[in-house]
Structure 1
C-alpha cells in the first residue's frame, strides 16, 4: 500500500476518532456487531522494513481492545453466539468476535494468556499443512528474503531481472512488486517463484514455517481451551479462487476432515485465506455453504447486520491493523458502519 494511501487512512481514522464521533455513528446505525481479524501478537515494534507489520499488534493493544469493547457496551462472544444474534428477530447488545488466522506461535505465548485473563472467547482458524510445515508462510518468507539482501534477482517469465534493495524504501518497492505478482498469478506460478527465491537466497521454507507456526503439540493448548473455537482455513492456505473447482472443494473439505480427526470435533466455521475479492467469491461461498459449514469469514471490511444472516458463508471482518494501534482508534474499530461505508455501503459483499 502506498504511503499516500496510508496517510489518507490515518487521516480518516483521526477524524472518526474525534470525541463522540464514532459513538454517534453507532447510535444511528443498525450494525449489530463486528468480527475482528487478527494474525500475530508480538511485544516488539516492527522494523523499518516490515510490510507484514500490518498483521501484528502488541499484547497491550489486544488487551486494550478487549477492555474498551466491554466498556463501550459490547459483549465479546464466540462465532456461534454471533450467528444467533444475527438471526434474532430483534437486535440485542452489540457484540465483538475475535478471530485469529494461521496459528502463529506468538498466539500461544502472548495472546492466549490475555484472552484467558479476561475470559474472552475467540476463534483460531487453522490450515493443517501449515501446522505440519508442509505449506509456506510465503508473505513473510518474501519479506525476510528481501530484508536480508541488498539486491534481489528473480525471473517473472521474461528472463532474469535485478532489483536493488539496499534501503527500506527500495525494499518496500520490490516487496510490493513481487507480492502483487504472486497475488495475481495462479498458485503454481506463485510457488515456483517462491521456491526459486528461497533456493537462491538459502531460505529453508520448512524451517521458516516451523519457526513461525505452532505444531500440533503446541496447538493442543487451544484445542483443550474452552474459550477457543477451532475453525478451518484450507489445507495449504491457498487462495481458493485461483484453483480448479475440484481442488478448491478439496482444500475446504480436507481441512475440515483433518481438523476433526486431530481435535476430535468437526469445525463448523471457515476462514478464506487472504479473503479478499482476488481470493474468494461466489463460487467459494457456495462451496462453504454446500459443505454445511455454519459460517465463512472473509477479509472484506464491514460490520454485521441482520441482512448478513442470509449469507453466513460470506461474513465481513475488520482487520485490527498493526499500523493503527492508538487507543483512540479502538472506538473507530468498534464502529462497523464506518467500514461498511468504506466498502461502498454493501452490507452483504459477494463480489
Structure 2
C-alpha cells in the first residue's frame, strides 16, 4: 500500500475512534452519498495488485448494505435521490449504490446479494466493453508487470529495462507507466498501450471478454427491476482529452447503443475515471446539452440541495478496496466528512 493510502487509513482509524462521522452527520446539511464500486470478488487480492482499490469482497458489500440501513440510512435510486434533494426539508439520509464498467463479477456476486436485500443500484455501461472490444488498460499493465521480473519501457525512442522482481519494484514500475499513460493525449496513449501489450503478447480483446459481461449477460442484469442502466461512454476514454466533437460522440453514441439493445434511453451518465484530468466544466456542459438527468464524477463528497444546480457534476464516495474494515463503513456513509476531504484534495 502506498504512503498516501496508509495515511488515509490512519485518518479513518482516528475518525472512527473519535466518532467524527457521527459528528459530521449531525452538523452537516448533506442529505446523502453516492457510493462508487467496480468489482465484487471473493478472493483476496495478490500481494502486487494496484487495482485492488477497485475491488470489494461480497461479505463487505453485504455488511455495508446492512449497516447503513441499521443506522437509519435508506438505499435509494438516483431518481429518488433527486427528489429527496429537492424536498424543502431534510428527511432521512440516503445512499445510492453505483457500479462502473459492467464487470462480469457484478452479475455473479453482487446481483444475488442486491436482490436478497432488495437494494436498488445503477450500473454504468461502456458499450465497447460489452461488445468485447474494450481496453481495460489499467488491468493489462498490472497483469504484465505482475508476471515478469523485468519489463521494457520505450520513451523517445530509447528502450529502458526496468527490474520488477520485488513487489516494491513492480509497484514503482506500475505507477510510472500508469501515470505516463494517464497524462498522454488519447491517440498517443493508445499507441503506447498497443506497443507495450504487443511486446508481451497480451491480448486486450480476450481480457475484455474474460472480465466484462456480454450483451446477453447484461440483459439478465438490466432486466432486474432493482437495476438502473446508465451510460459510461463508448470506449472509456478520458473525455477531457478529446476534441469536443469526439467527446460528445462518445457520450451520445453510448446512449444510442444501449437504447438499441434494451429499448430504454439512459438518463444517467458516469464520466470515465471521473477525476479532474478526465472531466471538467466542458464535459459537464456536454452532459447537460445531451439531456442527461445526472452525471457523476469520482470527486469525493456528499449530496446537498445545491447539487440540484449542478446535476452533471455530482460527487461520489468510493468504496475503496484498501479500506474494507467494517468500522470504516460509518466513515464512508458520512457525506459531510467526504465533502471536507474533497475540499482538501481539490
Q: TM-score category by the smaller chain? A: over 0.9
The CA deviation at 1:21 is 2.7
Rounded Cα–Cα distance in structure 2 between residues aligned with 1:149 and 1:4: 24
Structure 1 match to 2:314? 315
Structure 2 match to 1:170? 169
Structure 2 match to 1:66? 65
Unaligned 5+ runs, structure 1: none
The CA deviation at 1:339 is 1.0
Rounded Cα–Cα distance in structure 2 between residues aligned with 1:133 and 1:217: 12
Matches within 5 A, 1:31-42: 31-42=30-41
The CA deviation at 1:143 is 0.4
Structure 2 match to 1:21? 20
The CA deviation at 1:19 is 5.6
Structure 2 match to 1:46? 45
Matches within 5 A, 1:286-297: 286-297=285-296
SS of structure 2 residue aligned to 1:36:
strand
Rounded Cα–Cα distance in structure 2 between residues aligned with 1:325 and 1:158: 43
Rounded Cα–Cα distance in structure 2 between residues aligned with 1:327 and 1:127: 31
Unaligned 5+ runs, structure 2: none
Rounded Cα–Cα distance in structure 2 between residues aligned with 1:193 and 1:238: 15
Rounded Cα–Cα distance in structure 2 between residues aligned with 1:243 and 1:261: 25
Rounded Cα–Cα distance in structure 2 between residues aligned with 1:318 and 1:145: 30
Matches within 5 A, 1:38-117: 38-117=37-116
SS of structure 1 residue aligned to 2:91:
coil
Structure 2 match to 1:284? 283
Rounded Cα–Cα distance in structure 1 between residues aligned with 2:243 and 2:158: 28
Cα deviation digits, residues 266-307 of structure 1 (max 9, x gap): 000000000000000000000000011100000000000111
Rounded Cα–Cα distance in structure 1 between residues aligned with 2:98 and 2:30: 19
Structure 2 match to 1:181? 180
Partners of 1:156 and 1:193 within 8 A in 2: no
SS of structure 2 residue aligned to 1:161:
strand
Rounded Cα–Cα distance in structure 2 between residues aligned with 1:309 and 1:89: 12
The CA deviation at 1:244 is 0.3
Q: Aligned residues, how many?
A: 346
SS of structure 1 residue aligned to 2:153:
strand
Rounded Cα–Cα distance in structure 2 between residues aligned with 1:167 and 1:133: 33
Structure 1 match to 2:243? 244
Structure 1 match to 2:216? 217
Structure 2 match to 1:193? 192
SS of structure 2 residue aligned to 1:109:
helix
Cα deviation digits, residues 76-112 of structure 1 (max 9, x gap): 0011101111122221110000000000010011000
Partners of 1:154 and 1:193 within 8 A in 2: no
Whether 1:208 aligns to 2:220 is: no
More displaced 10-residue stretch of structure 1: 283-292 or 84-93: 84-93
Partners of 1:74 and 1:95 within 8 A in 2: yes
Structure 1 match to 2:155? 156
Rounded Cα–Cα distance in structure 1 between residues aligned with 2:239 and 2:19: 41
Task: List, as ranges, runs of 4+ consecutive aligned residues in structure 1 with deviation greater than 6 Å.
Answer: none
Rounded Cα–Cα distance in structure 2 between residues aligned with 1:272 and 1:77: 21
TM-score w.r.t. length of structure 1: 0.97
More displaced 10-residue stretch of structure 1: 116-125 or 11-20: 11-20
The CA deviation at 1:156 is 2.5
SS of structure 1 residue aligned to 2:48:
coil
Root mean square deviation of aligned Cα? 1.2
SS of structure 2 residue aligned to 1:275:
coil
The CA deviation at 1:215 is 0.3
Whether 1:4 aligns to 2:6 is: no
